[in-house]
């Protein structure tokens, strides 16, 4: 069955937002875009969780979207993070992304205020009906404090331009329910679950570790797409320690930013309340990067 949103199948990368001396480093951001384009990344996802969107001003959030769209210039798709726990703010950001030429919007579940399931439904419906670009529902209960239940996502699938789900619940049963009952494209929101999710019908990943090894994540996804299951499993096992540490050593995006600093690809600067890894965490991350062959 061809699914809505299948044009976003493959590797999407949840981009960091580079900072230097407290400000967004737009030159570094443009270099990150070029790095991903050169790697063959299908889609760039700026200003999501990994992009530290909660600590960006509204002006910075909009400018990051614009810079990524303009730099990518159609060579990679752009799915801009435009979610908020305020429906009005999510509407404003999503309209901005559409106006600037983003190919889709990644809209995280409203966080902290814990809507009812009807509240989730009305939130996404209003945003989707206000724009023409495809919407990806980003379901991450660990951040939002509440799950968008599969029955609610099935209702949302009836809205024409709600076409994708970024599945970050860690529950394959929930993903199976969505895949069996809808024609939505499901993308993994956890790097380490990319292959398991694809094995039940998912079509790719919105990846954190793709910030440093996009080509290896592409190899994993393509191996499964080509039904080369043994090769896909080999890539899964190789990637697993790196994927585990990027989300396990500390809250995302702390480990990926420190990894990129170690690799000479970012300053490693974070905005409070995010703080750097402690010495034990840095040592473990350095061991993992060395074991992978990156250091």
Q: Tell me the torsion sign for CA atoms 118, 120, 125, 126.
A: positive
Q: pLDDT 10s per residue in the chain (295 long)?
A: 689 999 999 999 999 999 999 999 999 999 999 999 999 999 999 999 999 999 999 999 999 999 999 999 999 999 999 999 999 999 999 999 999 999 999 999 999 999 999 999 999 999 999 999 999 999 999 999 999 999 999 999 999 999 999 999 999 999 999 999 999 999 999 999 999 999 999 999 999 999 999 999 999 999 999 999 999 999 999 999 999 999 899 999 999 999 999 999 999 999 999 999 999 999 999 999 999 999 9
The active-site residue, picked from 77, 138, 146, 257, is 138
- For the question of residue 138 being annotated catalytic, the response is yes
- For the question of residue 146 being annotated catalytic, the response is no
The residues, ordered by sequence, that sit 6+ positions from 89 with a Cβ below 8 Å of its Cβ are none
Q: Tell me the torsion sign for CA atoms 124, 61, 244, 249.
A: negative
Contact 24, 67 (CB under 8 A): no
The active-site residue, picked from 42, 77, 166, 257, is 166
Options 1.10.167.10, 3.30.1220.10, 3.30.470.30, 3.20.20.70; CATH of 6-226: 3.20.20.70
* Structure tokens belonging to residue 184: 């939505």
Domain ranges of the chain: 6-226
Residue 148 has a pLDDT of 98
Residue 122 has a pLDDT of 98
What single string gives the DSSP state of each residue in 36-57? Answer: HHHHT-SEEE-SSTTTTGGGS-
């Amino acid at each position: 069955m061809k699914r809505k949103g299948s044009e976003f199948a493959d590797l999407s990368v949840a981009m960091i937002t580079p900072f230097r001396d407290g400000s967004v480093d737009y030159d570094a951001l443009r270099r990150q875009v070029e790095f991903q384009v050169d790697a063959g990344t299908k889609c760039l996802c700026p200003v999501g969780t990994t992009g530290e969107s909660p600590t960006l001003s509204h002006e910075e959030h909009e400018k990051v979207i614009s810079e990524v769209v303009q730099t990518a210039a159609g060579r990679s798709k752009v799915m801009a993070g435009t979610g908020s726990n305020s429906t009005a703010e999510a509407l404003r950001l999503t309209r901005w992304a559409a106006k600037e030429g983003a190919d889709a919007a990644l809209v995280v579940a409203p966080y902290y205020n814990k809507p009812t399931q009807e509240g989730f439904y009305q939130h996404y419906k209003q945003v989707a009906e206000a724009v023409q670009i495809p919407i990806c529902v980003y379901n991450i209960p660990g951040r939002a404090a509440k799950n968008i239940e599969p029955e609610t996502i099935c209702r949302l699938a009836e809205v024409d331009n709600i076409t994708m789900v970024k599945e970050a619940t860690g529950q394959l049963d929930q993903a199976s329910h969505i895949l069996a009952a809808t024609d939505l494209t499901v993308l993994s929101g956890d790097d380490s679950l990319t292959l398991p999710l694809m094995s039940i019908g998912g079509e790719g990943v919105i990846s954190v570790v793709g910030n440093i090894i996009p080509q290896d994540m592409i190899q994993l996804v393509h191996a499964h797409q080509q039904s080369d299951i043994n090769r896909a499993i080999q890539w899964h096992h190789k990637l697993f320690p790196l994927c585990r540490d990027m989300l396990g050593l500390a809250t995302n995006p702390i480990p990926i930013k420190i990894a990129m600093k170690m690799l000479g690809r970012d300053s490693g600067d974070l905005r409070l309340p995010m703080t750097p890894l402690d010495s034990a965490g840095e040592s473990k991350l350095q061991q993992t990067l060395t074991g992978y062959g990156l250091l």
